[in-house]
Amino acid sequence: MAFLDQLIVAFDRGLRVLITPPQFRRPNPASQYMNVELSKTEKIHAGRLMRINHTGEICAQALYQGQALTARSTHTRDALKHAALEEIDHLAWCEERIKELGGRVSYLNPLWYLGAFSMGVVAGIAGDGWNLAFLKETEKQVENHLNSHLQKLAMEDLKTRAIVQVMRDDEKNHAELAQSLGAYEFPRWLKEAMKLSSSVMTKTVYWV
């Protein structure tokens, strides 16, 4: 496919991610648990944490699309597209749980999408080893971030916890996939810069 055609397809996918409700392929892990009545504060807090995770998944879609657009090898591009499909489940589960908790998604999602897409494009241009290094480090940081949410969520909020746990395990697999495909290792300063930018995103999205 010509680059311009791929760009149009990526733009179309971006609009769909931001506008249309995502369809999951795997059942929502929360569905196996009964609804437990949470306090108002717990519900609001959980809704905001899931808003952060939802925005994280919007960014994951954007990153994957951007990276796939400029990835050099077909092998890497196909792996990225496959992983992006799996991330759609996360996006849909988060959206469903946010609704159940009476919350809302971030108003700034189009902005985060654009930023993450641009980062993905740059990572792809840097070459497959660095592209995969970016993916690996992102997934590792998301895994740690989801572990921190498991500490913050109420123990009785089994539905939200079930979603976060499956997402955490999937992200771990994505990092391992990137490693197996030949990811390089980012220098420490770059990992710290990524942590800083994701902390700006999470703190903002908790409120907006």
Give the interface with Fe ion as residue ranges (CB under 5 A).
60, 87, 90, 139, 171, 174
CB of 95 or CB of 139, closer to Fe ion: 139
Two structure tokens written together for 132: 């995969």
Residue (139 or 157) nearer to Fe ion, CB: 139
Least CB distance to Fe ion at residue 110 (A): 19
Question: Toward Fe ion, which CB reaches closer, 137 or 171?
Answer: 171
Nearest-10 crossing angle of helices 109-125, 40-70: 30
Least Å distance between CB 24 and Fe ion?
12
CB-CB contact of 72 with 123 (8 Å): no
- Rounded least distance, CB 6 to Fe ion, Å: 22
Q: How many CA atoms, within 13 angstroms, populate the side-chain half-sphere of residue 13?
A: 24
d(CA 146, CA 164): 6
Q: In whole angstroms, how close is the CB of 58 to Fe ion at the nearest point?
A: 10
- Give the SS3 label for residue 127: coil
Q: What is the distance of C-alpha 82 from the center of its chain? A: 14
Question: Shortest gap between Cβ of 8 and Fe ion (angstroms)?
Answer: 25
Nearer to Fe ion, 27 or 102 (CB): 27
| Spatial separation of the C-alpha atoms in residues 69 and 111, rounded to whole Å | 19
Q: Count of residues for the chain?
A: 208
Name which of 87 and 95 has its Cβ closer to Fe ion.
87
